[in-house]
Amino acid sequence: MKFIHTADIQIGARFTRFDERADILRAARLNTLKRILEIAREKDVDGLLIAGDMFESNQIATALIDEAFAALAACPEVPVVILPGNHDPLDGPGCIWMRKPFVNPPAHVTVCVSRNPVPFADAMVLPVPITQKVSAKDPSLPLVEMAESIPADKIKIGMTHGALAIEGKHQPSDQPIALNAATRAGLDYLAVGHWHKPQAHDGGRLAMSGTPEPDDFDQDSGSVALVELSAPGEQPAISHIDCATYRWRSVTVDLLQRELTRNTIKEAVSGKDAEPDSTVLRLELVGPVSPEQRETLSAAIARATEDCAVVLVDDRTSTVLSDPLWKACLQEHPLLAQVLVDVERSRLFNTGARPMIESAGLDDLTLDQFQSLCAALKIDTDQLRDGAFEAMMALLAVEVGKAMTGGGAP
C-alpha cells in the first residue's frame, strides 16, 4: 500500500510580522491542501493521513473551515484520516471537529475523535488524538496497548502529534514522543506531526512529515511524505514530494559589492532553487550607503523586489560619505572634515577597523592623543564598541549630506 503523510498545514495562520501582503500567505495554506489532494490523486495513493494541526487553531473563521472541508469533500477518491493536534485539539464541543461541517463528514473522511482503530486500505490506523495544547505525557504510549488487539496480518500505522523526545531539543510540556515509539508498540509506521522540518527515526518507522507549506526562512520544509508499505513487518519506503505554494528564502546583498536591482534578486533566489514570484523574501542589506543613496533606498528596494510574492526587509546598512561628498566637505567644511577623520582614527585605534575615508592631508590623531582624550573624558576604551563609532560616523555623514545639498550649515 502507499499513502501520503502530512501534518501542520495550519490553515488560518496569520503572519503578523509582514505587511498587508501577508494575506496571500494565509490563502496559500488552503491552496497547499488542494495541491496535496492533487498529488494524492496523481500518485494514486490509498489515502491521506493528516497527523495534527490541519488548522492553526480552533478559533479560525468559519468560512475558512468550510472551504477546507469542501476541498476534502470534492475528492471522494482520496480517503482522508485527520488527527486533532495541539493547535486544533479535541478539547470539547467548541472545537472544529465537534462542529459543523466536520462533525458529520462524508464517508471517505475520518476525523479521529477517539482512539478507535480506523480501517485504511490494507492497514489499520491507530490514532491518539491530542486533547490539550500542552502536556508532559508521551502521546504515543497508549499505542502499545492499542496495537495488541490488531491481527498480526494487518499493517499497523500509528498516528499522533508532539515533539520528539530528543535531549535538549524539546520542551518537557510539548507532548514529547519517545524516539523508539514505533518499534515499542510493534507498529509498521508511526505518522507524527508537530515539527516543521521532516525527519525519520526508529529505523525509519517513526516519521515527522514536516509542514507542507513553510512558515519560516530557509526552513527545509514544503513537502509531503509518500510512504510505501509492502507487508506487515517490512521496512517502509519514504520519499518526499514538494508541494509548497511559496518558498521562503533569505538573501543578503552587500551594497558595497553589488547594485540592488531586480536581476540581483532574481539571481540570488534562483541560486536558492526558487523563482521570485513564488518566493517570500527576507532581504538583508549590508554595507555602506551614502546619504544620497539613503534617500532613494526605499524606492530601490521596492523596484528590486517587485517580482517577489512577499518581502521582509532587514536593513543593516551603515551610512557613510560618498567620495564626492567627502571631497566637497574637505573643501567647504575643513573643521567638520577634521572631526570625521578623528572619529575614523579613534575607531582604528580601538577596533582595528580600516578608515572608510582618506585623511587627505589633515592632521592624523595620534594614539597618545586618543588615549589622553578618553582619559580626560573618563571613557573606558574597553567599553567602546564598533557600533558606537559607526553610529557617530552615520550621524555625521547624514549632517554633512544635508549641509552639502543645501540643507543648512553643519
- Mark residues 86-115: x for contact with Mn ion by CB under 5 A, - for none: x-----------------------------
Q: Kindly state the smallest distance separating residue 166's Cβ from Mn ion, in Å.
A: 16
206-208 vs 199-201, strand pairing mode: antiparallel
End-to-end alpha carbon distance in the chain: 77
Give all strands (DSSP E) within 121-175, no chain letters.
123-127, 155-161
**What angle in degrees, to the nearest 10, is found between the helix axes of 323-332 and 334-351?**
120
Q: Based on CB atoms, which residue is closest to Mn ion, 7 or 393?
A: 7
Kindly state whether residue 342 participates in binding Mn ion, applying the rule CB under 5 A. no
Q: Based on CB atoms, which residue is closest to Mn ion, 85 or 401?
A: 85
Q: Kindly state the smallest distance separating residue 242's Cβ from Mn ion, in Å.
A: 22
> Shortest CA distance to 209 belongs to which of 50, 13, 349?
50
In DSSP notation, 96-126 reads GGGSTTTTS--TTEEE--SS--EEETTEEEE
Q: To which H or E segment does residue 199 belong?
A: strand 199-201
Part of the chain binding Mn ion (CB under 5 A), chosen from 57-65, 152-160, 188-196, 337-345: 188-196
* Buried b or exposed e, range 59-79, using 16+ CB within 10 angstroms: ebeeebbeebbebbeebeebb
Phi then psi for residue 207, to 5 deg, are -130, 135
Kindly state whether residue 85 participates in binding Mn ion, applying the rule CB under 5 A. yes
Q: Kindly state the smallest distance separating residue 53's Cβ from Mn ion, in Å.
A: 4
What the block records as the C-alpha cell of 276 is 521570485
- 56: DSSP letter: S
Q: Based on CB atoms, which residue is closest to Mn ion, 6 or 86?
A: 86
Q: Kindly state the smallest distance separating residue 86's Cβ from Mn ion, in Å.
A: 4
Q: Kindly state the smallest distance separating residue 75's Cβ from Mn ion, in Å.
A: 24
Q: Based on CB atoms, which residue is closest to Mn ion, 85 or 214?
A: 85
Q: Based on CB atoms, which residue is closest to Mn ion, 222 or 276?
A: 222
9 Cβ contact partners less than 8 Å away, ≥ 6 residues apart? 29, 32, 33, 36, 50, 53, 54, 55, 211, 212, 213
Q: Which of 3, 25, 35, 53 binds Mn ion (CB under 5 A)?
A: 53
- Mark residues 9-48: x for contact with Mn ion by CB under 5 A, - for none: ----------------------------------------
Q: Based on CB atoms, which residue is closest to Mn ion, 194 or 347?
A: 194
Query: Is the preceding omega at residue 212 within 30 degrees of 0, hence cis?
Result: no
Part of the chain binding Mn ion (CB under 5 A), chosen from 23-31, 51-59, 240-248, 307-315: 51-59
Cα torsion 82, 87, 92, 95: sign: negative
From residue 342, alpha-carbon distances to 186, 362, 365, 392 in Å are: 74, 10, 6, 11
Q: Based on CB atoms, which residue is closest to Mn ion, 138 or 188?
A: 138
Q: Based on CB atoms, which residue is closest to Mn ion, 89 or 236?
A: 89
Q: Kindly state the smallest distance separating residue 91's Cβ from Mn ion, in Å.
A: 14
Q: Kindly state the smallest distance separating residue 52's Cβ from Mn ion, in Å.
A: 6
Q: Kindly state the smallest distance separating residue 219's Cβ from Mn ion, in Å.
A: 15
Kindly state whether residue 209 participates in binding Mn ion, applying the rule CB under 5 A. no
What the block records as the C-alpha cell of 137 is 505525557
Q: Which of 26, 184, 194, 333 binds Mn ion (CB under 5 A)?
A: 194
| d(C-alpha 374, C-alpha 31), whole Å | 62
Size of the site for Mn ion (CB under 5 A): 4
Q: Based on CB atoms, which residue is closest to Mn ion, 53 or 390?
A: 53
Q: To which H or E segment does residue 367 belong?
A: helix 367-376
The closest residue (CB) to Mn ion is: 194
Q: Kindly state the smallest distance separating residue 139's Cβ from Mn ion, in Å.
A: 11
Part of the chain binding Mn ion (CB under 5 A), chosen from 77-85, 120-128, 169-177, 396-404: 77-85
Q: Kindly state the smallest distance separating residue 83's Cβ from Mn ion, in Å.
A: 11
| d(C-alpha 123, C-alpha 232), whole Å | 9
Q: Based on CB atoms, which residue is closest to Mn ion, 224 or 229?
A: 224
Q: Give residues in contact with Mn ion (CB under 5 A).
A: 53, 85-86, 194
